[in-house]
Amino acid sequence: MNGIMQRSWFIAAVWIALGGSVHCQVDVTDTLDIREEQKWDQIIISITDQAGADTLPVFTAVERMPRFPGGEEARLGYLRDNIRYPQYARHWGIQGRVFVSFIVEKDGTIAGVKVLRGIGGGCDEEAMRVISNMTRWEPGTQKGEPVRVQFNMPILFKIGSGSVSVSDLHYSKGHRRMEMKQYESAVQHFSKSIDSKSAFYKESFADRGICHLHLGHYDQAVSDIREAQKLGAFLVPEAIADAYFNIAHAYMEQKRYPEAIDLYTETLKLKKDDAETLYNRGVAYFYAGEKGKACEDWHQARELGLEAAAVIMNQNCR
């Protein structure tokens, strides 16, 4: 019978690349960290920038990612120089993370700026204002052609003592180690971020899980990602779904069919009616000796337009 389908996907700096040739799925997270200490009111603005969701025709990872004019340092400088802590929020002690999504268009302009999760007090509007006013970027390209690329950027507004949190820096350092594919080192930094309950310790569970996925530690990867979900970390559902999808693929190769079925089921909770996942869960059911359930999944996949499901049904569900 046919083999399972595997997605080829990339989540640079936070996620993983697992080989595959069918139905390419692309995700990315690119994390940077800057801190601005404003002596006059002792306010720290911590900015961590993440790329996120996979929504065609908007890419989230491409061969050449968009670039702020002048590079990373220039981008950090722009944020450092332009973000201002809103007076109302400062007066009432409002602090926390504002998650903003935006798209770098094919011509480098910024569009589609929106708040995914806010904290109020003017912080949401300030985050959107600064991002909306960014200068034109060098656009991302795929196969030599400019394409649209989506980013998710969490901005932490924090009223503090004026000192930089070492625990928060571990989160940023973990991402930089991931960019360099130093996954074992990244795991250590994310672990320190978790142990010290940094501002991003919840997200650190997911990021550490992806490092484990890179390293082939699939059980640890599942444990960490599920913990991040349990804690309510800010996660891109499509990215988590693809992580589960690919770990399930690894379990299939190890003939751990019940565990693969469980993860394909988790994938379907996040991406309902995903034909590829239904197809693969059907294969897992088939090898687990549950032919009836296998044929049910393949039937649904066929109804969703997946031709491979019709083929495998003709071979095994007569």
Would you kindly state where each structural domain of the chain is located, as residue ranges?
A: 31-164, 168-235, 241-316
Backbone Cα Rg of the chain: 21
May I ask the CATH architecture of the domain 168-235?
Alpha Horseshoe (1.25)
| Burial environment of residue 254 by CB neighbours within 10 A (0 to 12, 13 to 18, 19 or more) | exposed
- C-alpha span between 147 and 108 (Å, rounded): 9
Residue appearing with tokens 């003017």:
122
DSSP tag of 180: T
Q: Is-contact 73 88, C-beta < 8 A?
A: no
Q: Say if 31-164 and 168-235 have the same CATH topology.
A: no
Q: Is-contact 54 148, C-beta < 8 A?
A: no
Q: How high is the pLDDT of residue 14?
A: 24
Low-confidence ranges of the chain (pLDDT < 50): 2, 6-56, 161-166
- C-alpha span between 111 and 212 (Å, rounded): 34
* Cα pseudo-dihedral 10, 53, 59, 27, rounded to 10: 0
Q: How high is the pLDDT of residue 168?
A: 63
Q: How high is the pLDDT of residue 181?
A: 82
Pick the CATH number of 241-316 from 1.10.150.120, 1.25.40.10, 1.10.3720.10, 3.40.50.720: 1.25.40.10
Q: How high is the pLDDT of residue 285?
A: 96
Residue 163 has a CB neighbour count (10 Å cut-off) of 10
Residues 226-241: tens digit of each pLDDT: 999 999 887 778 888 8
Global pTM reads: 0.58
Q: How high is the pLDDT of residue 261?
A: 97
Please provide the CATH number assigned to the domain covering 31-164: 3.30.2420.10
